[in-house]
Amino acid sequence: MASKQLFRLNFVGDVMLGRLIDQMFATHVHEPGEASTVEWFRRRNPDLNRYTEVSPWGNTLGLFHEADLNLINLETSVTTHPNAWPNKVFNYRMHPANVVALQAANVDYASLANNHTLDFKFEGLIETVHTLKQAGIAFAGAGETTEEALKPARLTLPKHHSDGSPAYTVEIVSASDHPRDWAAVPQFHLIDYSPKTRERLRAQLSKGQPHSANGAAAPLRVFSVHWGPNYLWRPDPEARDLAHFLIDECGVDIIHGHSSHHVQGVEQYKGKLIIYGCGDFVDDYAINQSYRNDLSAIWRVTVEGKDQEGLHLKSLEIFPTRISRFQAELLDSNDPDHDWVREKITKLSGEMGTVMSEAAGDRGQLVLQL
């Protein structure tokens, strides 16, 4: 009989630790204008005078520490390079010393395919890549070479296994459909929705056989993608069509979507999982009261390993969160904002034929059996 193991993978959307959040840390990039804003904020919130590597995660840290893998979209460059990409409205950077904040939350993977990775030009990207490598954090979607940008990051479950139990591979590819200006940078994985791009993705991902050549279980495949317009409740039809193609033709198991700034719906498609928009997890952004970009979630996927059969999706749990005072906050089930997130995701998912249920207990998270 095949032995079984359960693993929990946490997915979150945009983690933006630059700009004002970077200024909160003891070590930060020197930005006089932003520093004065932070001082104004601290005078009104003296309890945040000591902002440490655990502060951005607030009371969500326990869920990160419970997980077997944590996967994020890192929505900032990690650099002290002074020259910004020209003619961009927002250019984000965090000091490389503050990568300890990612380590504090046990972040295993950071997507670099987004519209802020190159905010401080190619030099800033190189420093970002070197910093993540030194911190032991896997990445994809951008890199020192085109090959590094396109190739999948490979993670192992369990992360530490010495008892002879089976080990499983999780492969993550990252891509972004914007900004188009960055098509000039071959070390950035930019996609569009053309037949040419589909053919390239099919060849790149190459739908796997049930088992690899050496008899090991085929990997669990994740496609982490920064896509679509901001502030749009329903995914663009092109994005939804691409998601189906990635599952049908490329062997993708989980699509980790982000960029919209707010939550979007979930689609269960042919036994696989599409999270169209995870929302902003932590940042310093102004709040859009219509779309509530301060509300999002931790999206926890449980997978089951069965020896040579590989990893199989079991369930998705959605834990609503809120950004408050430069921190993520896990919401109590009695909080009206908890209801807002739950109801919005339930409605948008239902429009795509996906039925969510509510877990019993104090957390009241949404659950989808896969």
DSSP 139-188: EESB-SSHHHHHSPEEEEESSS--SS---EEEEEEEEE---GGGGG-TTB
Q: What single string gives the DSSP state of each residue in 212-259?
A: -TTSPBPPEEEEEEE-S-SS-SS--HHHHHHHHHHHHHH---EEEEE-
User: What's the structural domain count of the chain?
Assistant: 1
Helix H or strand E encompassing 321: strand 311-324
| pLDDT for position 163 | 63
User: Which residue range is the domain that position 155 belongs to?
Assistant: 4-369
Counting residues of the chain whose pLDDT is more than 90, the rounded percentage is 86
CA 55-223-248 angle, to 5 degrees, is 150
| pLDDT for position 239 | 97
For residues 336 and 344, the answer to whether their CB atoms sit within 8 Å is no
Q: How confident is the model at residue 2 (pLDDT cuts 50, 70, 90)?
A: low
C-alpha 263/C-alpha 344 separation (Å) is 8
| pLDDT for position 161 | 67
Q: In whole numbers, what is the pLDDT of the chain averaged over residues?
A: 94
Provide the phi-psi class of 165: left if phi over 0, else alpha when psi is between -120 and 50, else beta. Answer: beta
Q: For 40, what's the count of Cα atoms within 13 Å in the CB-facing half-sphere?
A: 7
Q: What is the pLDDT of residues 44-70, one digit of tens each?
A: 989 888 999 999 999 999 999 999 999
- Averaged pLDDT, 251-270: 98
| pLDDT for position 210 | 47
Q: Which residue has the higher pLDDT, 32 or 182?
A: 182
| pLDDT for position 213 | 44
Q: How confident is the model at residue 307 (pLDDT cuts 50, 70, 90)?
A: confident
- CATH number for position 329: 3.60.21
| pLDDT for position 211 | 46
CB within 8 Å of 173: residues ≥ 6 apart? 140, 141, 150, 151, 152, 153, 189, 204, 205, 221, 222, 223, 224
For tokens 């739950």, what's the residue?
342
Q: What are the structure tokens assigned to 289, written together?
A: 């009261």
Q: What is the pLDDT of residues 78-105, one digit of tens each?
A: 999 999 999 999 999 999 999 999 999 9
Q: How confident is the model at residue 31 (pLDDT cuts 50, 70, 90)?
A: confident
For residues 218 and 209, the answer to whether their CB atoms sit within 8 Å is yes
- Averaged pLDDT, 255-271: 98
Closest CA to 30 of 80, 75, 74: 80
